[in-house]
Chains A and B, each alone.
Chain A
Amino acid sequence: MTRRPPRYWLQLAVTLAVCALLVVPVAMSIAAGVTENYFVGVRSGLTLRWVGEVWALYEETIWRSIYVALACLGCTLALGVPAAYALVRSPSRYVRWVEELLVLPVAVPGLATALALILAYGTWREFRASWLFILVGHVLFTLPFMVRSVLAVMAAIDLATLEEAAASLGASFARRFVTIVLPNARPGILAGSLMVLTLSMGEFNLTWMLHTPLTKTLPVGLADSYASMRLEIGSAYTLVFLVMIVPLLVALQWAAGRAGRRGA
């Protein structure tokens, strides 16, 4: 093993600096969220009182984020899985168009999409004031990710021949879809689902514009707390967010790995 050249140490330094930039504030935030007094530091003792206060103040936002995310998942599954199948089995000229279209709400800033929704449907009171308004924004934003995830897995297996084989054995379209298409697309559906949940839980740009004081989600609450609450509460709230989102992220990485291996 040769001695490492100076270049190696330089690269290592840059890499560590990048990691530090990304990780240190997260660690600080976690620490601040469970410390008695941020200014004094960890010496002041660990406590869950800030987390308790966060719960008291923002419990509703946490639940709302969860059920919006689940509802969003339901919608994207119902809309996105058939759409992915349609794209896999259709001639390629349609496919490009549909994909380009569905991606537009992602390509365009959430702000613009939200503004458009408000201008178009804002006068419809019940809709504007309900959580469904936020749901619509989330579905528009997460749908392309579900479609893409499922599409990738479906495209990697020779669905057409499998379906022909099933048809030759007498299976109708509905039966083929349920017994052959869906089970084989499962890794993509799983990865897509985790992606949708993660994105929905963390969505801010759209939600900030679309929310009302009665329909706040977790990220909206976070913005609130950073602006008006003390650092410890903001940190504790962020900690709650991390606790919810990190398992999803880990599961997503695992699921995406499985979906990637499927095609090979």
Chain B
Amino acid sequence: MAISIRLENCAKTFPDGTRALEPLTLDIAAGETVVLLGPSGCGKTTTLRIVAGLEAPDAGGRVLFDGEDVTARPIEERGVGMVFQSYALFPNMSVAQNVAYGLRVRSVPAAEREQRVAEMLALVDLAGFGPRRVDQLSGGQRQRVALARALAIRPCALLLDEPLTALDAKLREQLRVQIDRLLRGLGITAVYVTHDQAEAMALGDRIVVMEKGRIAQAGTPQEVYHRPATAFVADFIGTMNRVAGEVVDGHLVWSAGRLPLGPLAAREVMFRPEDVRLVPAGGHHVEATVISAFFLGDHTRLVVDAGASAPLVVETSERRTWPRGETVHLAVAPGALLAVPGQSP
């Protein structure tokens, strides 16, 4: 049932001249969940719409489903299921009628239709909601109806355009889990667009980070997080601390202290806030002053001035408070250091 999707040299220029996508090639394996992640304007939604058939790629671009060229096929004939950011539920129909719409179009007989609708509603935990009107539903419920409607037609792929963006944080987390369970359970090929990296990391088998119409990096969440390929990806995913200095004796040295570089030989390094350890004074370390401390419940995020071009972010689960201006000492294991990509040695 699940198909593989291939985008080959797909670029997109809009009639008003905007270049939304540079020629892009992407392979999505059958049953894989690929998340397109990036800031607004990066081309992720355009890419999704090209897969769906709502936009056509510029000449030379091809879209292949299981090796078959579907570029010329309009969305009506592609058999994909699509979930829109605004859900796009039909206001003139009830929940059951919405979910059944695709089946009606395919002339599925009434009995089978009803059964499938009930099945889908149960799948998204909305059993019994069939007769309700759309305007009686909450945001989370609407989103689940949209999912049920897209899945009812047993699509070859599921395409989701920022489906959780309109919901509040708690609901987002809950639905994220549901969607993840659904996608895994169904084994369906899914392309998911979001600008929320936590969502991307949680849901994606692979993440495709996009910037200005190009793919910056495509890889597993671990790869993208721990080994960002470009400065953009490094900055976009999570928080990255950056320090520049002189390389002396296998250490990076600057005004506030020194960090052992290990095998790395870079004048500018990056490291994640959670890889910074607070250590007692003395030894190879960095001295920093606390600017702010944010207690986030399970950990505290410290913003400290360590003489670098920007304040450093440190995450610690030590249970204490840090008054402004206090001096702290930091250390980072060499293995957690990354050379900033794209610098000359």
Contact = CB atoms under 8 A, between A and B. Distances in A.
Interface in A161-185: 161-162, 164-172, 175, 179-180, 183-184
Contacts of A158: 86, 88
Contacts of B92: 180, 183-184, 186
B90 A170 contact: no
Contacts of A157: 91
Pairs A-B, 3 closest by C-beta atoms: A169-B102, A165-B88, A183-B92
Nearest to B149: A169
A165 B84 contact: yes
B76 A164 contact: no
Given A168-B81, A184-B90, 8 more contacts: A165-B89, A168-B52, A169-B153, A171-B101, A171-B105, A175-B105, A179-B101, A183-B92
A175 B52 CA distance: 19
Given A180-B92, A184-B91, A184-B92, A170 B86 contact: no
Interface of A: 157-158, 161-162, 164-172, 175, 179-180, 183-184, 186
Q: Which of A157, A171, A184: most chain B Cβ within 10 A?
A: A171
Interface string B137-159: 00000000000011001000000
A167 B91 contact: no
Contacts of A179: 90, 101
Nearest to B100: A169
A155 to B, nearest CB: 15
Contacts of B77: 170
Nearest to A160: B88
A164 B105 contact: no
Contact of B88 (A162, A175, A186): A162
A172 B77 CA distance: 9
A183 B97 CA distance: 14
B112 to A, nearest CB: 16
Nearest to B155: A168
B80 interface: yes
B90 A164 contact: no
B74 interface: yes
B88 A164 contact: yes
B101 A166 contact: yes
Nearest to B82: A168
Contacts of B153: 169-170
Interface string B86-114: 10111110000000011001100000000
B54 interface: yes
A167 B90 contact: no
B80 A166 contact: no
B77 to A, nearest CB: 8
B82 A171 contact: no
A169 B150 CA distance: 7
A169 B93 CA distance: 15
Nearest to A168: B82
Contacts of A165: 82, 84, 88-90, 149
Contacts of B80: 168
A183 B76 CA distance: 21
B298 to A, nearest CB: 39
A165 B106 CA distance: 15
Contacts of A169: 101-102, 105, 149-150, 153
Nearest to B87: A165
B75 A164 contact: yes
Contact of B84 (A164, A184, A186): A164
A166 B76 CA distance: 8
A179 B90 CA distance: 9
B79 interface: yes
Contacts of A162: 88, 90
A157 B91 CA distance: 10
A147 B52 CA distance: 33
Contacts of B106: 170
A184 B98 CA distance: 14
Given A171-B101, A171-B105, A172-B76, A166 B82 contact: no
A161 B91 contact: no
A199 to B, nearest CB: 28
A78 B81 CA distance: 34
Contacts of A161: 84, 86, 88
Contacts of B86: 158, 161
Contacts of A170: 76-77, 79, 102, 105-106, 153
Given A164-B54, A166-B101, A171 B76 contact: yes
Contacts of A171: 76, 101, 105
A158 B89 CA distance: 11
